[in-house]
């Protein structure tokens, strides 16, 4: 199978959330609850509380270094709009998008609008105007979509979307398919929907990969949020490192980018 790794950039800097949303009170409450339920350590709880005062809320540099060293051609999705706790403005993201792009990683839109063609197009065009190059593709924030979302994205000019996700099951075993000229890559595995503990997350991942193998799903999309690549989120960070090592030491599975996957799919389609 071919594994496609993506990172949704929900947070960039501490100031994203000053007087803009309720991320910090929610984060504090959730961290304390998780600690009381013994799901995270005192150290992790402390680090999460302290993070409310840190200037930086992303781990993009660290993750790019890790992905590069391990041959993971990942994509980073950036917001061009604000909503549901993603609160940075496009201007504030510009330097980071440029850095990620210059290092040779793909960059796309982390979409907010999903119901209105005009508004979806505004985010698409905003990216191009800001950066001087277009987004490689899109994933909607909170994987929101309705029956028109993908057709609207296609009209805007996106080459791919990777938003379709089964929230009930917590994973999606479904092959990529075309929506007119655009490819839809259902999101197979999302970090936030895995069990909280490292061992259980590993176990569930192996089960999902096995289901994909049995169902003949050749392209597997995985989402890992960059802001968790640090000591405040040891279980899910270590799960990501384990996943990358597991795929790299497997004989059957490799990493691929969305762009290369599309080229392969188009070639096979034409045959
Ligand atoms: Zn998001």
Report the separation in Å between the CA atom of 251 and the middle of ligand 1, taken as the mean of its atom positions. Answer: 32
Query: What's the gap between Cα 209 and its chain centre?
Result: 18
27-43 per-position pLDDT tens digit: 999 999 999 999 999 99
Q: Which residue has the tokens 């100031």?
A: 15
53 pLDDT band, cuts 50/70/90, is confident
Per-residue pLDDT, averaged over 239-255, amounts to: 97
What is the model's pLDDT at position 22? 87
pLDDT single digits (tens) 5-34: 999 999 999 989 888 888 899 999 999 999
Helix or strand or coil: residue 62?
Answer: helix
**Centroid of ligand 1 to alpha carbon of 78 (angstroms):** 9
What mean pLDDT is predicted for residues 162-187?
Answer: 98
Instruction: Please tell me the distance between residue 57's alpha carbon and the centre of ligand 1 in angstroms.
Output: 14
- Sequence-ordered strand ranges (E) for the chain: 2-9, 75-79, 106-111, 138-140, 160-161, 177-179, 182-184, 187-190, 219-223, 254-255
Q: Which long-range contacts (CB under 8 A, 24 or more apart) does 115-122 make?
A: 115/146, 115/148, 115/149, 116/152, 117/148, 117/152, 117/155, 117/156, 120/149, 120/152, 120/153, 120/156, 121/152, 121/155, 121/156, 122/81
CB within 8 Å of 222: residues ≥ 6 apart: 3, 4, 5, 6, 188, 189, 190, 243
Closest to 140 measured CA to CA, from 170, 160, 169: 160
Please report how many Cα atoms fall inside a 13 Å half-sphere around the Cα of residue 204, on the Cβ side: 21
- pTM above the 0.85 mark? yes
Question: In the 8-state DSSP scheme, what is residue 143?
Answer: G
239, 200 contact by CB (below 8 A): no
Report which secondary-structure segment, H or E, holds 150. helix 149-156
Residue 271 scores a pLDDT above 80: no
CB 138 within 8 A of CB 221: no
Residue 82: per-residue pLDDT: 97
Residue 57: strand, helix, or coil: coil
| pLDDT single digits (tens) 97-110 | 999 999 999 999 99
What distance in angstroms lies between residue 22's CA and the mean position of ligand 1's atoms? 15
Portion of the chain with pLDDT greater than 70, in percent:
99
Q: How far is the CA of 270 from the centre of ligand 1 (A)?
A: 34
Inform me whether the pLDDT recorded for 178 exceeds 90: yes
Q: What is the mean pLDDT of the chain?
A: 96
Q: How far is CA 75 from the centre of its chain?
A: 8
Distance 141 CA to ligand 1 centre (A): 4
**Rounded distance between C-alpha atoms, residue 78 and residue 166, angstroms:** 22
Question: What's the 252 CA to ligand 1 centre distance in angstroms?
Answer: 30
Q: Which CATH class is domain 2-13+57-270?
A: alpha beta
Output the pLDDT for position 18: 83
Residue 270, pLDDT > 70, answer: no
Q: Where are the domains of the chain?
A: 2-13+57-270
Q: How far is the CA of 8 from the centre of ligand 1 (A)?
A: 5
Distance CA 257, CA 105 (A): 9
pLDDT digit string, tens, across residues 139-164: 999 999 999 999 999 999 999 999 99
């Amino acid at each position: 199978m071919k594994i496609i790794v993506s990172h949704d950039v929900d947070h960039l800097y501490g100031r994203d959330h000053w007087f803009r949303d309720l991320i910090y009170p929610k984060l504090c409450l959730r961290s304390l609850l998780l600690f009381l339920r013994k799901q995270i350590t005192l150290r992790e709880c402390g680090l999460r509380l302290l993070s409310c005062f840190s200037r930086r809320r992303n781990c993009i540099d660290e993750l790019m270094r890790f992905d590069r060293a391990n041959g993971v051609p990942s994509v980073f999705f950036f917001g061009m709009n604000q909503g549901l706790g993603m609160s940075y403005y496009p201007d504030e993201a510009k330097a980071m998008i440029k850095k990620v792009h210059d290092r040779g990683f793909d960059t796309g839109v982390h979409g907010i609008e999903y119901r209105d063609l005009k508004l979806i197009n505004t985010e698409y065009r905003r990216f191009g105007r800001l950066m001087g190059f277009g987004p490689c593709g899109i994933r909607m924030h909170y994987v929101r979509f309705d029956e028109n979302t993908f057709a609207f994205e296609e009209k805007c000019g996106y080459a791919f979307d990777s938003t379709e996700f089964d929230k009930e099951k917590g994973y999606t075993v479904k092959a990529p398919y075309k929506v007119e000229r655009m490819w839809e890559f259902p999101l197979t595995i999302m970090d936030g929907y895995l069990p909280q503990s490292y061992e259980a997350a590993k176990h569930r991942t192996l089960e999902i990969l096995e289901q994909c193998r049995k169902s003949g799903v050749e392209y597997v999309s995985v989402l890992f949020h960059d802001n968790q690549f640090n000591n405040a989120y040891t279980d899910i960070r270590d799960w990501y490192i384990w996943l990358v090592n597991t795929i790299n030491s497997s004989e059957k599975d490799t990493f691929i980018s969305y762009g290369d996957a599309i080229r392969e799919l188009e070639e096979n389609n034409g045959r």
